[in-house]
Amino acid sequence: MIGLALALALGLPSPQASPPPPPQDPTAVTLDDVVVDARGIELMAQAFIEDVAAPNRRRGLARWNTPLCVGVANLQRDVAQAIIDRVSDVAGDLDVRVGEPGCKANALIVATDDGAGMARSLVQARRRSFDVGSLQMMQTSSALEAFQSDDRPVRWWQISMPVNSVNGERAIRLPGESPPVIFVFAASRLVSQIRDDMNKVIIIVDMDDVSGLPVNKLADYMAMVTLAQIDDDAESARYDTVLNLFDTPERVDGLTDWDMAYLRGLYSAEQNRINLNAQARNVADAVVRARREAAAPTEE
Judge whether 214 lies within some domain. Answer: yes
pTM of the shown model:
0.83
Segment 68-82 mean pLDDT: 97
| Single-letter amino acid code for the residue at 299 | E
pLDDT tier at 21 (50, 70, 90 boundaries)? very low
**Per-position b or e across 159-198, b if 16+ CB within 10 A of its CB:** bbbbbbbeeeebbbeeeeeeeeeeeeeeeeeebbbbbbbb
> What is the number of structural domains in the chain?
1
Segment 279-285 mean pLDDT: 85
- φ/ψ region of 85 (left if φ > 0, alpha if ψ in -120 to 50, else beta) reads alpha
Judge whether 51 lies within some domain. Answer: yes
- 49 Cβ partners below 8 Å, 6+ apart? 61, 280, 283, 284
- For residue 283, pLDDT beyond 50: yes
pLDDT at 5: 42
pLDDT at 299: 59
pLDDT at 3: 46
pLDDT at 70: 98
User: 98-141 pLDDT, tens per residue?
Assistant: 999 899 999 999 999 999 999 999 999 999 999 998 888 999 99
CA atoms within 13 Å, Cβ hemisphere of 23: 3
**Per-position b or e across 112-139, b if 16+ CB within 10 A of its CB:** beebbebbebbbeebeebbebebebbbb
User: 218-231 pLDDT, tens per residue?
Assistant: 999 999 999 999 99
51-60, 66-75, 181-190, 208-217: least confident range: 181-190
How many angstroms separate the Cα of 98 from the Cα of each of 67, 101, 130, 166, 260?
Answer: 5, 9, 23, 21, 18
Judge whether 42 lies within some domain. Answer: yes
Residue numbers of the domain that contains 103? 2-19+21-295
Judge whether 300 lies within some domain. Answer: no
Judge whether 61 lies within some domain. Answer: yes
pLDDT at 270: 83
pLDDT at 165: 77
Judge whether 64 lies within some domain. Answer: yes
pLDDT at 67: 96
